[in-house]
């Protein structure tokens, strides 16, 4: 396991148990079985680690949604979308509870800019899904539907954060698919239109520079141990600079990355770059 990945996974366990304030770097390094020097090679501070964890969770969620929207057939995509969202909430609920309780650590300008960036990416993925599913039927209200879907995502996440009850993810996803379909079919009065809709359209094609993607691939190759994911990254890095492989092979190499928890973001960026 990569040292950085180990630190992040063990830190999540401690933060969920003790909270941010009560967890020291010494405790994290002891829990990982590494030295403080090894910690500081990966993170400059505990605050940087916390932000990196939030970054990781958002990258994971964005990549998973993108993979679902691109690869799931129409009659299943909305269900799979909601199921994946709440599976992620369920998986990270302990950390999220601590984050809400001790949010002063993260609510700074850089953090808010980062969250705004992911929010726009998710908006675009939801819009793509809406246009695929409903076409002209929902053309007038598609931007309102984005906010309705995100409202469902936010409101029902409270079940994981504030109620200590078992959650039936399958039933929850089915219920929200029904509600979304009703809105798409019957809502007739759009609010998000005119200038506001124009602003949302302007963010649709926001791209991440190729140089930044290449640097990230190089970083992952350097960090990772020998594995099929690393071999895939090496081949994709070569393809990124000098295209020679068929699209089917490139798509397969990107799929190899999707299941690795620390390669999901790279797979997302490469899917966008190669337009899969």
Q: What is the pLDDT of residue 198?
A: 65
Q: What is the pLDDT of residue 203?
A: 59
CA distance 92 to 253: 28
The pTM of the full predicted model, rounded to 2 decimals, is 0.84
Q: What is the pLDDT of residue 125?
A: 93
Q: What is the pLDDT of residue 131?
A: 94
Q: Which fold has domain 47-202?
A: Tetracycline Repressor; domain 2 (1.10.357)
Q: What is the pLDDT of residue 3?
A: 81
Q: What is the pLDDT of residue 182?
A: 96
Q: What are the structural domain ranges in the chain?
A: 1-44, 47-202, 210-274
Span 209-234, pLDDT tens digits: 888 888 999 988 988 888 899 999 99
Q: What is the pLDDT of residue 71?
A: 92
Q: What is the pLDDT of residue 195?
A: 66
In the chain, the percentage of residues whose pLDDT exceeds 90 is: 48
The pLDDT tens digits along the chain (276 residues) read 578 888 998 999 898 888 888 899 999 999 889 888 889 988 998 888 988 888 899 999 999 999 999 999 999 999 999 999 999 989 888 888 888 777 655 556 667 778 888 888 999 999 999 999 999 999 999 999 999 999 999 999 999 888 878 899 999 999 999 999 999 999 999 998 766 666 666 655 556 788 888 899 998 898 888 889 999 999 999 998 888 999 999 999 999 998 888 889 999 999 988 888
Continuous segment of H or E residues that includes residue 155: helix 142-162
Q: What is the pLDDT of residue 252?
A: 93
Q: What is the pLDDT of residue 127?
A: 93
Q: What is the pLDDT of residue 99?
A: 80
- Compute the residue count for the chain: 276
Which CATH number among 1.10.10.60, 3.40.50.720, 2.40.50.140, 2.60.120.10 corresponds to the domain 1-44? Answer: 1.10.10.60
Q: What is the pLDDT of residue 96?
A: 85
Q: What is the pLDDT of residue 196?
A: 66
CA distance 5 to 24: 18
């Amino acid at each position: 396991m990569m040292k950085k990945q180990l630190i992040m996974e063990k830190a999540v366990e401690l933060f969920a148990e003790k909270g941010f304030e009560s967890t020291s770097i010494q405790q994290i390094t002891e829990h990982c079985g590494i030295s403080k020097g090894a910690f500081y090679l990966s993170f400059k501070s505990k605050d940087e680690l916390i932000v990196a964890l939030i970054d990781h969770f958002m990258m994971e969620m964005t990549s998973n949604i993108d993979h679902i929207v691109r690869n799931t057939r129409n009659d299943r995509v909305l269900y799979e979308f909601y199921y994946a969202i709440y599976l992620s909430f369920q998986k990270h609920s302990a950390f999220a509870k601590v984050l809400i309780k001790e949010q002063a650590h993260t609510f700074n300008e850089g953090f808010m800019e980062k969250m705004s960036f992911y929010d726009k990416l998710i908006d675009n993925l939801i819009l793509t899904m809406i246009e695929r599913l409903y076409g002209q039927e929902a053309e007038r209200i598609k931007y309102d539907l984005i906010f309705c879907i995100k409202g469902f995502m936010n409101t029902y996440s409270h079940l994981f954060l504030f109620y200590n009850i078992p959650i039936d993810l399958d039933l929850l996803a089915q219920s929200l698919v029904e509600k979304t379909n009703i809105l798409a079919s019957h809502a007739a009065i759009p609010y998000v239109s005119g200038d506001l809709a124009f602003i949302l359209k302007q963010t649709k094609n926001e791209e991440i520079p190729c140089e930044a993607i290449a640097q990230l691939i190089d970083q992952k190759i350097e960090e990772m141990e020998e594995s099929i994911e690393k071999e895939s990254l090496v081949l994709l890095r070569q393809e990124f600079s000098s295209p020679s492989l068929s699209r089917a092979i490139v798509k397969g190499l990107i799929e190899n990355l999707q299941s690795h928890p620390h390669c999901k973001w790279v797979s997302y960026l490469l899917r966008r770059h190669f337009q899969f």
